[in-house]
Amino acid sequence: MTSRTFAAWVVRRLAVAAAVVAGVAVVTFVLIHLAPGDPIYLLAGDGGSPAYYADMRARYGLDRPLPAQLATYLAAVLTLDFGYSFVHQAPVSRVLLAHAPASLLLGGAALALATAAGLFAGVLPALTRSLAVDRVVRWGASITYASPVFWTGQIFVYVFAVRLGILPAAGITTARETLTGLAAGGDVLRHLLLPALTLSLPFAAIIARVVRAALVEIAREPFVLATSARGFSRARVLLGHAVPNVLPPVVTLVGLHAAQLAAGAALIEALFGWPGVGHLVLQASLHRDYPLVVGAFIGISASVVFFNAAADAVCAWLDPRVRQT
C-alpha cells in the first residue's frame, strides 16, 4: 500500500472520469440539438413576425449547422465557458453556481440523516439480539426503499405542514423577512428538515439493510463471543470492532447511489420548490434552454463520477485488495 501506487491509481481514475464527462457532454449536446421543435418561440416572445424570429434565431446562434455549434461549444468548455443561458439571461456557470449550494445542502443533509438513521437501525438487531427487532428493521427497510420519494414527501407535507402546521411547506427561506446570521441559518434548517428527511429515507433503508447483514455475520464471529465472555459489553465490542468493518460497503453504496441521489433530489426539489440544480434542469429542459441543460448535465455527471471515484478511493485506502478490480 505505497502512497505512490495509490497516487497513480487516483490519477488513472481521474483521467477516466474526465473522459467520461467529456463523452456525456458530447452525447447530450447532440441529443438536444436533434430534438424536434424550435426553441426560438419560447425564447423570443410571442406574436412576432417571421423576420423577427429569423433575427432572433441568428442572435442566439441557432441557425448555424450542428457540427459548427458543437465545435464552438467544446472549445468554449475547455476554457470553462459554458455558454449563456437563454432563459436566465446570465452565464451558465453563474446560474449553476447560484443553484448548486441549495442542492449540495439538501444532498448532504439527506446523506447525513440517512447514514445516521441507517447505522442506528442496522446496529439495533445485532445489539438487541431480538428476532422481533430484526424483523421490524428488515421489513421497515424494504417498505421504505420501495416507496417513491415524491409520495412520502406529499404525505409529510400534508401531515406536518398542512395538518399540524409546524413546518413550512415549501421554499428554502421564509418569504417575508430577510434574516441574517443565526436566525437565517435556523430558518434554512427549518425549511430543510422535511425535504432532507424525505430524500434520506430510501438511502437510510439501504444502509440499514447492509449494516444489519454485515453486523449479523460479525456477531457470530468467535472473537465477539470471546471478548464478551471476557466481560466486555457486547455493545462496545460490536461498535468498536464491527462498525469500522462495515464502513467500506456503506461508502461504496453511497457512491453507487450518487446518481440516484441526484435523481431523487430533482423530484424533491420539484415537490418542495427547493431552488437547486435538479429543479433547474427540469425547467431548462421544458424551456429548451440548451446551454443550461448541457452545462447542468456536465456538472451533474462530473459530480457523480467524482463522488464514485472518491468513494472508491476511500475504500481502496481502507482495503488495498479492492484496488485490483
Partner 1 sequence: MRRQDPAARWMGAAILAVLGAVAAAAPLVAPGDPYRLTGPALTAPSWTHPFGTDDLGRDVFAGVVHGAATSLRVGAVGAAGALLLGVLVGGIAGMRGGWIDQALMRAADFVQAMPRFFLAITAVSLFGGGLSLIMLVIALTAWPGTARVFRSLVVSTRRREFVLASQAAGAPERWILRRHVVPLTISVAVAHASYQAGGAILAEAGLSFLGLGDPSVMSWGTQLGFAQQMVREAWWTSVFPGLAIALTVLGCNLLADSVGHRTDRPQPIP
Partner 2 sequence: MRRLLVSACLLASASAAACSSASNAGQSRPVTLVVALASDPGALNPAVTTSGNTHPVTDQLFNGLVGLDEAFNPVPELAERWSIEDDGRTYRFFLRPGVRWHDGTPFTSADVRFTFEAALLRYHSRTRAALEGVIEAIETPDDLTVIFRLTRPYSPLLQRLDVVEASIIPRHQYDGHDLLTGEPTRRPIGTGPFRIVSHTPSDRIVLERNTQYFRPGLPRVDRVVFRILPNAAAAVAALEAGEVDYVSGVPGPAIPRLRASPAVTVVPGTAGPGGALCQDVLIPNLARRPFNDPRVRRAFAHAIDRAFIHERVYYGLGRVATGPISHLMTWAYTADVPQYRHDPAEANRLLDAAGHPRGRDGVRMRLTFTHAATHQRLGQALREGLKLAGIDLALETRDFNAAVEQVFVKKAFDLGVASYCNGVDPDIGVRRAYVSSNIGPYPFSNGAGYRNPRIDALFEEASRQQDRARRRDLYVEIQRILAADVPYFWLVDTEALRAHRSTFTGFRPWTGAFLETVAAVAAETP
Q: Using CB under 8 A, list all residues that contact partner 1.
A: 16-17, 19-21, 23-24, 27-28, 31-32, 35-37, 125, 131, 134-135, 138, 142-143, 145-148, 150-152, 154-155, 157-158, 162, 206, 209-210, 213, 216-217, 249, 252-253, 256, 259-260, 262-263, 266-267, 270-271, 278, 281-282, 285-286, 288, 293, 296-297, 300-301, 304-305, 308, 325
Among 7, 8, 31, 170, binds partner 2 (CB under 8 A): 170
What's the closest the beta carbon of residue 92 comes to partner 1, in angstroms?
15
Q: Candidates 132-140, 244-252, 278-286, 296-304: pick the segment binding partner 2 (CB under 8 A).
A: 278-286
What's the closest the beta carbon of residue 33 comes to partner 2, in angstroms?
14
What's the closest the beta carbon of residue 195 comes to partner 2, in angstroms?
12
The closest alpha carbon to 241, from 257, 259, 226, belongs to 226
With 0-12 / 13-18 / 19 or more C-beta atoms within 10 angstroms meaning exposed / middle / buried, residue 194 is buried
Confirm or reject binding of residue 172 to partner 2 (CB under 8 A): yes
Residue 155 binding: pick among partner 1, partner 2, none (C-beta 5-8 Å cut-off by kind): partner 1
Are 209 and 139 a contacting pair, CB within 8 Å?
A: no
3-class DSSP assignment, residue 179:
coil
Cβ proximity to partner 1, 105 vs 215, nearer residue: 215
Are 13 and 312 a contacting pair, CB within 8 Å?
A: yes
Please enumerate, as own/partner, the contacts of 213-222 that have beta carbons within 8 Å and a separation of 24 or more.
214/122, 214/242, 214/245, 214/246, 214/249, 215/122, 215/123, 215/125, 215/126, 215/242, 215/243, 215/246, 216/125, 216/126, 216/134, 218/126, 218/242, 218/245, 219/126, 219/129
What b/e sequence results for 214-247 when a residue is b if at least 16 CB atoms lie within 10 Å of its CB, and e otherwise? bbeebbeeeebeebbeeeeebeebbbeebbeebb
Grid coordinates given for 62: 441557432
Residue 206 binding: pick among partner 1, partner 2, none (C-beta 5-8 Å cut-off by kind): partner 1
Residue 247 binding: pick among partner 1, partner 2, none (C-beta 5-8 Å cut-off by kind): none
φ, ψ for residue 248 (rounded to 5)? -55, -50
Among 39, 195, 264, 278, binds partner 2 (CB under 8 A): 39
What's the closest the beta carbon of residue 54 comes to partner 1, in angstroms?
23
What's the closest the beta carbon of residue 185 comes to partner 1, in angstroms?
29
Residue 38 binding: pick among partner 1, partner 2, none (C-beta 5-8 Å cut-off by kind): partner 2
Are 266 and 66 a contacting pair, CB within 8 Å?
A: no
Cβ proximity to partner 1, 97 vs 170, nearer residue: 170
